[in-house]
Structures are given as structure tokens and as C-alpha cells.
Amino acid sequence: MRKRILVTGGAGFLGSHLIDRLVARGDDVVCIDNLQTGSLQNISHVRDQIAFVEHDIIQPLPELGEFHEIFNLACPASPVHYQVDPIHTFKTSVFGVLNLLELAKKQNCKILQASTSEVYGDPFVHPQPESYWGNVNPIGVRSCYDEGKRGAETLLFDYARMYGVTIKVARIFNTYGPRMDSKDGRVVSNFIVQSLRKKPLTVYGSGEQSRSFCYVEDLIEGFLLLMDTPKVVQGPVNLGNPYEFTMLELAQKVNMHTGNHVPLKFEALPQDDPKQRKPVIEEAQRLLNWIPSVLLDEGLQRTVDYFKNNLSIKSE
């Protein structure tokens, strides 16, 4: 069945890849984005196949017709971006989600929330299962995002309990791939851009802190499986790659794939930066039969190739 689907944050890194998959399978897609961190360039190749609305979801939603599904990916996702206006970031996660939930309730359509592993904070439990309640600083510089996403989950589950709204909550772990913003401050894009420019790679702290890196295509597949499963799965469901690497290991791999063996530059660890991040994905495997398939070396090479061909990289 051809579905009519609303994607908020659709001009962003993840949203544009999701739209690619939806368009490819023949869905009717409406993309909402305020272009705070998204870019029309990310969806330029499908603009004639989708409807685009420039709008901020913290404001009342315009009349857009009926939808079968809503994918909410609208929120700055890197500290560089979400700390620029922390109040707006928090509003996006709470007021924005509230507006979308009201739409989902009114139209009786499903809604998938792009939540985050940041709800676990700087964890005392490693790796992190969905049952872990987390260790989040509620008043720190990152809390506008961390607590905003936690508040969004609260609203989603309350709407499910009170009004029967069909919700899907995906907790995303570090994701990378083509169309990442070269200036978003995330470690993969940072390392790749610095290495391509033959500048020292900025490593925060000792570099022994760890992350697990999921290639964007794997994550989007997880989104679609979670939304489409006929099983009653509200979530939260961890979506991420369970293979764990230190920042030093990642730096070494990035230099290998760019062919530029640049040195490292160590700086102080930012406030509340998690020391470890690794998902337990048993729920995704059991409920969705999902497991990431792209290994880090393969994904990094694809991402390096993207940045090599990116005009903004060449021009700087």
C-alpha cells in the first residue's frame, strides 16, 4: 500500500537518508524542516518527488492533510549545534513532539521518535540495555538535549497510555555516513575533515573513551523495521552497532582510510561527555530481526569518499 508519510527534520543527515528509502519504495512523502541544521542540498535529488515545507515544529503545524505515519527526526543532534540555542533545543524535543503527538492522536496514525543513547548519560552500566534508566546531569550544558529527549519519551508513552497512540521509540547510538555536516563537531566527521585537510586530529581527554559507530544505512533499516513491524513494539529499542572502539582506535582508522597520517592534538574533555557508549541490541534482534551489517572500515571508507568529493571540503 502506498503510504502518505510525514518526516520532520527530513533535510538533515538521517532524515534525508530515510526519505531516500521511502521514495524508493513509492511512498508519498511530506518533509518538514526549519533548516536550522538541515540542508536543501541533502534532498535536492528528490525535491521533485516529495513535498517540502519549511517550518519549525515548536510552532503549530500547518494543515498538511492526512498521514499514515510520522517519523520525527527534528532536533539538532550534535553539541556544537544544540548548545547554540539550548532553550530552542529543549522546546523542539518537548513542544515539537507534543504538536506531533496531537496530530498522531487526531489522525490515528503511527509515530516514530528518533530518541538517543544520550538518555543514558555518562553510564554506570556498560553496555547499555533499554532497561537502564541512565545517569544524566539535569542542569549541565548538554541537558537541553539529553533531558529534552527524555522528556519527549515521557510524552510519547503517556500519549500511548492515555490515548492509545501507536508509538515507536528508537534510541539511536552514534551514527555516521555520507551527508554528515562537516562542521557539526561529531567525532567521525571531525576526524575525517581534519585528516583530509592534513590538520591534527582533535582528541578530547585521553582518547580512551569509547563509542560504537553505526553506518547510516543500517540505522535507517532499523527505523523502517520498527515502524513496519506488525508486533506491538512501542520501544524503547536500541539501534546501534555493538562493536566498540576508542577514540584513539578511530583516529588510527580514519588516517588509514584518508591516507594522511596526521598527528593527534589532545584537548580537555567537555563537561558531561560520556566515557563509554555501547548498545545492547538484543531487543532489536529479537523483535525486528535487525542487526547492523556494515563494518566500521567499510563505512568509514564510504564516508571518506563522500567528504573527498564534497565541494565545501575542497574549497577550504
For the annotated catalytic residues, the residue numbers are: 145
CB of 68 closer than 8 Å to CB of 132: no
User: Within 10 Å of residue 265's Cβ, how many Cβ atoms?
Assistant: 12
Looking at residue 159, the DSSP 8-state letter turns out to be H
What are the helix (H) ranges across 47-85? 79-82
CB of 209 closer than 8 Å to CB of 274: yes
Closest CA to 276 of 170, 117, 147: 117
Q: Measure the CA–CA gap between 34 and 40, rounded to whole angstroms.
A: 10
Closest CA to 114 of 210, 22, 238: 238
CB of 217 closer than 8 Å to CB of 17: yes
Q: Measure the CA–CA gap between 20 and 241, rounded to whole angstroms.
A: 22
Phi, psi of 173 (to 5 degrees): -100, 165
Q: SS3 for 204?
A: strand
User: Within 10 Å of residue 106's Cβ, how many Cβ atoms?
Assistant: 11
